[in-house]
Amino acid sequence: MKIALVGGGTAGHIIPSISVIEKIKEIDPKTEYFFVGADQDLDKKNLESFSSKYFLPIAKLRRYFDIKNFTDIFILLNSIYKSYCILRKEKPDVVFSKGGFVAVPFCVAAKILNIPIVMHESDSSIGLANKLIMPMASQVWLSHPSSIKKRYLSKTHVLNLPILNSLVSPKSAFEYSEYINLDKRNLLILGGSLGAEYLNEVIFEHREELKHHFNIIHVIGMKNFSSKYKKEQSYIPLDYIKDLGPVYQVTDLCLSRAGAGTLAELDSLKIPAVLVPLTKEGSRGDQILNAEYFVEKNQNSNILLESYLESKSLLEHLLKLPNRSSKHSPKTQEKVTEKIYSLLKKASSKAK
């Protein structure tokens, strides 16, 4: 079986695909694959260790009037043509789409060539790209039952994707241990792969107060990192971490946005968290739904709205979090992997 894995724009559209192929290769080492991401630095960084990869120019799918909507039509058509050429060259048996704007032209080209498409949506609400891909897909995979659409019920499967092996069993130790005070709990702060400017500013301004209670590992994001962020005792600012395994290994609790990919990792690794979801003004509201679902499932975590970040509520919410009690269970991963492999084989066989 040969799989084309497409998705990009954020780490949440790429890392899950890497974990999928990682697990499938454990079951069937003969599986062939290649990645297709967006032509931007973040995607290239996440896929730099893979030899078989392609990058497409992306046209943003806007829900509002903008003059760029007209110029982006030509970018979209160009990406469809490039996708068509890639697919003719590589001849995959199935396309696995993790969403993002880059996935739309690629899936259109796959549909033209009658190549089966399997799409996965991690969020509680379905993104615009996946809404466009869904009618073309042979199978629709959803992390949340609430996302199921009746007209696609017959081809829908509810399942979470596995997480990377490197997150469960890190190959290296945390490299900044000299800044860690062993008498404090380690607080990991994640704003998502693109960063969270307001969240970063609040943490930086209040870091002295937070340092009384925690060692802070602050992942800022490449876009927002600057020279003002300097490492000091109990405060470790980092621009971006490709491999979070060593960091998760030392993490006791987390303050995070509520992107579906990050929540899947926190859930699997049993890390208590305070979630600060993006507001409806800053997103389509999916992070609020993601956070509510996560907290309902993980009662060792809670939600703090962005408007309360600068109050005493932040510290109070963090201090309420219990210690990390248990580690990841590999048996759950094995069952998910077997189901994913079976569904992809089933989809690919229909094209033959």
- Look at residue 135 and tell me whether its pLDDT is greater than 60: yes
33-42, 222-231, 284-293, 298-307: range with lowest mean pLDDT? 222-231
CA-to-CA separations, 139 to 110, 154, 348, in angstroms, rounded? 14, 9, 11
Specify whether 48 is located in the same domain as 177: no
pLDDT confidence bin for 291, thresholds 50/70/90: very high
Mean pLDDT of the chain: 89
Q: How many other CB atoms are found less than 10 A from the CB of residue 25?
A: 13
Specify whether 238 is located in the same domain as 322: yes
Q: Half-sphere exposure of 58 toward its Cβ, with a 13 Å CA cutoff?
A: 24
- Look at residue 270 and tell me whether its pLDDT is greater than 80: yes
Alpha-carbon distance 20 to 94, whole Å? 14
Q: pLDDT tens digits for 38-80?
A: 999 989 999 999 999 999 998 776 666 667 777 888 999 999 9
DSSP lists the bridge partners of residue 56 as: 38
Q: pLDDT tens digits for 222-268?
A: 776 777 889 999 999 998 888 899 999 999 999 999 988 899 999 99
Q: pLDDT tens digits for 168-185?
A: 888 889 999 999 999 999
The position carrying tokens 């000091």 is 232
- Look at the chain and report how many structural domains it folds into: 2
- Look at residue 119 and tell me whether its pLDDT is greater than 60: yes
Position 284 scores a pLDDT of: 67
Specify whether 145 is located in the same domain as 256: no
Handedness of CA 210, 215, 221, 223 (dihedral sign): positive
Position 156 scores a pLDDT of: 95
Position 80 scores a pLDDT of: 97
Specify whether 33 is located in the same domain as 177: no
Specify whether 14 is located in the same domain as 140: yes
Specify whether 298 is located in the same domain as 342: no
Residue 64 token pair: 């509002």
Specify whether 48 is located in the same domain as 155: yes
Specify whether 131 is located in the same domain as 257: no
pLDDT mean over 92-109: 96
| Of 5 and 261, more confident | 5
Position 233 scores a pLDDT of: 96
pLDDT mean over 274-281: 85
Alpha-carbon distance 37 to 32, whole Å? 17
Specify whether 234 is located in the same domain as 344: no
Treating both helix axes as pointing N-terminal to C-terminal, what angle do 260-269 and 286-297 enclose, rounded to 10 degrees?
10
Specify whether 338 is located in the same domain as 254: no
Nearest to 270 by CA among 255, 290, 256, 252: 252
Position 190 scores a pLDDT of: 92
pLDDT mean over 176-203: 87
Position 329 scores a pLDDT of: 60
The position carrying tokens 């490709």 is 242
Q: Tell me the CATH number at 183.
A: 3.40.50.2000
Specify whether 235 is located in the same domain as 336: no
- Look at residue 332 and tell me whether its pLDDT is greater than 80: no
Position 1 scores a pLDDT of: 94
Position 301 scores a pLDDT of: 95
Domain limits for position 148:
2-162+332-349
Single pTM value for the model? 0.83
**In the chain, what are the helix, strand and coil shares in percent, each to the nearest 5?**
45, 15, 40
pLDDT confidence bin for 283, thresholds 50/70/90: low
Residue at 28: amino acid letter = D
The position carrying tokens 């395994």 is 245
Position 306 scores a pLDDT of: 87
Burial bucket for residue 205 (CB in 10 Å: 0-12, 13-18, 19+): exposed
Position 195 scores a pLDDT of: 56
pLDDT confidence bin for 321, thresholds 50/70/90: very high
Residues 6+ apart with CB under 8 A from 260: 12, 122, 123, 124, 143, 286, 290
Q: In what order do the strands lie in the sheet with 117-121?
A: 53-56, 32-38, 2-6, 94-97, 117-121, 139-142, 156-158
pLDDT mean over 200-224: 89
